[in-house]
Amino acid sequence: MKEEQFNQLPSQGTIYSVGRLGSHLIIGTGNYGKIYAHIWASIMQQLPLQNLPYECDIISIDAYIDAFPVLAVAYVQKCNASTNGAIPDGMGKGGFVTSHLNIYSTWISVDQDSPTSTSSTSSDGSRIKSTFHPKEEFHSSQFELLAQNCTNFLLDYIPYHLYHIPVVKENGNFGNILLISGSDKKIHSYEADEDNLTFIEVPVKTYFPELAQTFPSICTRILIQPVNELTRRITMCGLESGNLLIWVVTSKFHRRRRMDSETTVTSGSITPSKSIHDAFEGMSISETKDTTSTSRARDIIQLWEKSNKSTNHVTKSDESSPESACAEDGECMTDSMLESLDESFETIEHYYEGLITSIKSYTDGFSLNIIVASALSPTYVYTNVIEEHFRAGSPLKFSSRWDAVECCCVEDVDRDGENEIIIGTFGCALLVYKYMDEILPEWVIVCKRILPRNILAIEFVSPDLLVVTGLGLHVINYDTSAYFTNRPGTTTTTANHPQPIQ
């Protein structure tokens, strides 16, 4: 691995303060209230965002392109205890902060010929959006327009992970929902109100009822993976306590066929409290189809499947559960509420040492695989999770040797048609794993580089790896010759870096 460019930043961000808008990397600094966009090579542009105080700490960033580009920034600002919206800073020293969420957008109208959306003309001559086509290209010239349109939310919790996911909205159109986890141990959701050109907060149970609860601890990572019409999605939440909560959400018709064909439930699971046959008793298939078309909610089965204890996971017990936490919160989805839904939830739970730092997904042919990294446990790779239900998990050897794993990336960096796993650690190690199925049927380290500071985020923008550390942004060119030669360039530390950006 050869470092092509380096851009030093004025202060260190967090593992959440890096986003991507098209091919541009968005990086937030820790305590100067500055956000930069990596335009090209060594060009870094500071974004003049409105309503972003100078003396604030950027906590989390997320960006996506819906029918219009969107940039979300969560930050905190020190204040006095008498300030409106002041909350404890969580440091235990009696300090107070105000938490904010700024959502920026260009608000490209669908009445115009927007390159990011597809529209059609109805019988009355009006234009309606019919499909969702995310646009990969985002021109840097649009950053100035993006920075001028802001919707601000005052939060009553410390923000953590910002995450977006496309959904089908009530009007039938596709759009993205913005999720944010907080110190209140909940997940909150926001969506665009295109009629009023603003963003609004919506109940998270509207689109993801499995997330409408108070978790045992703070949710540090969120990943929602849409699958197909039968297995609709896999929802994963990594907690500060080391718990990994997984919901395999399927349609009720798929659950019925599965339970009809199986006489017993798989090992390690608990029998559902309500039979699928009871839910459909007295109903024909045609009747259930009509019911589904008129409402989102009808029947649900909750199958709580606990993974067996093994040496790969922590064997500690946690008496608190999502069910007990929900019972204490009136806004959570109770059993009576869940009985009205048309989705089945199979819940799997794993335990790790230390908080969950990263969750990534990738496909291998028709197989969906999940990577989970935590602060103290080795990084685990779960293969074919739909069929195996997260039972086929194997650790990445030596992944925890260089301190805690802080980030992970899955890309075909050597362009051989097979994905590699790139992880960054608090111990400044950048590790590249490759699955050597022809030599060893396991993931092995094929390349390693030690950087000058801890690694916060990794993104692959062809043909380079963009690595964000506590010092700045490293643009690294990956060289496959490192597989066969032990060149000094594969383990060099740092070069003479330029002065930090002011």
Decide: helix, strand or coil at residue 253.
helix
How confident is the model over 248-281, as pLDDT tens digits?
988 655 444 444 444 333 333 323 333 223 332 3
Say which residues have a Cβ less than 8 Å from residue 49's Cβ, sequence separation at least 6: 35, 71, 73, 102, 104, 147, 150
pLDDT at 480: 62
Sign of CA dihedral 194, 145, 23, 102: negative
Q: Does 135 score more than 60 pLDDT?
A: no
List, for residues 230-248, the tens digit of each pLDDT value.
Answer: 678 999 999 999 999 999 9
pLDDT of residue 495: 42
Q: Beta strand 302-306 with 343-351: parallel, antiparallel or unpaired?
A: parallel
Are the CB atoms for 129 and 13 separated by under 8 Å?
Answer: no
Q: Are 318 and 328 contacting, i.e. CB atoms less than 8 angstroms apart?
A: no
User: C-alpha distances in angstroms, 82 versus 75, 79, 97, 390?
Assistant: 19, 8, 11, 48
Angle at alpha carbon of residue 268, lines to 263 and 273, rounded to 5°: 60
Return the bridge partners of 114, or none: none
Query: Residue 405 CB: number of other CB atoms within 10 A?
Result: 29
User: Running DSSP on this structure, what letter comes out for residue 269?
Assistant: B
Among the listed residues 249, 178, 190, 183, the one whose alpha carbon sits nearest the alpha carbon of residue 215 = 183
Q: pLDDT tens-digit profile of 479-494?
A: 765 554 444 334 444 4
Q: What is the pLDDT of residues 420-447, one digit of tens each?
A: 999 999 999 999 999 887 777 889 999 9
Residue 180: the pLDDT is: 97
Closest CA to 1 of 453, 471, 431: 431
> 166-200 burial, b for 16+ CB within 10 Å, e for fewer?
ebebeeebbbbbbbbbbbbbbbbbbbbebeeeebe
Average pLDDT over residues 326-348: 59
User: H-helix or E-strand containing 145?
Assistant: helix 143-146
DSSP 170: T
Q: Residue 252's pLDDT is what?
A: 57
Q: Is the confidence at residue 325, as pLDDT, over 50?
A: no
Lowest mean pLDDT of 85-94, 142-151, 344-353, 403-412, name the range: 85-94
Please give the structure tokens belonging to residue 333.
């989805």
pLDDT of residue 492: 40
Determine the residue type at 372.
V
**Sequential DSSP letters for 225-242:** EE--SSEEEEEEEEETTS
Q: How far apart are CA 449 and CA 255, in angstroms?
A: 47
Element (H, E) at 445: strand 443-450
Residue 193, C-beta contacts closer than 8 angstroms, at least 6 positions apart: 199, 200
**Cβ atoms of 423 and 457 closer than 8 Å:** no
Token pair belonging to 362: 């990738």
Pair of tokens at residue 141: 């010239």
- Mean pLDDT value of segment 118-134: 40
Asked whether the predicted pLDDT for residue 283 surpasses 50, the reply is no
Taking the CA atoms of the chain, what radius of gyration do you get in angstroms? 23
Tokens found for residue 455: 């690694």
- The answer to whether the CB of 353 falls within 8 A of the CB of 343 is no
CA atoms within 13 A on the CB side of 173: 20
Answer whether 436's CB lies under 8 Å from 387's CB: no
10 Å CB burial of residue 74 (0-12, 13-18, 19+) is buried
Nearest CA among 50, 66, 38 for reference residue 169? 66
Q: What is the mean pLDDT of the chain?
A: 75
- Give every strand in the sheet of 455-461, ordered side by side: 2-8, 472-477, 464-469, 455-461
User: Backbone phi, then psi, for 255, in 5-degree steps?
Assistant: -65, -35
User: What are residue 276's phi and psi, to 5 degrees?
Assistant: -65, -30
Contact 402, 454 (CB under 8 A): no
Give the pLDDT band of residue 110 (cuts 50, 70, 90). Answer: very low
Dihedral of CA atoms 367, 371, 372, 376 in degrees, nearest 10, equals: 140
User: With bands split at pLDDT 50, 70 and 90, how would you rate the model's confidence at 137?
Assistant: low
Residue type present at position 145: L
What is the reported pLDDT for 308? Answer: 31
Q: Is the pLDDT of residue 337 over 60?
A: no
Instruction: Tell me the average pLDDT across 51-56.
Output: 87
Residue 122 reports pLDDT greater than 60: no
Average pLDDT over residues 292-302: 31
Rounded to 5°, the CA angle 431-435-438 comes to: 140
Whether a cis peptide bond, with omega within 30° of 0, leads into 463 is yes
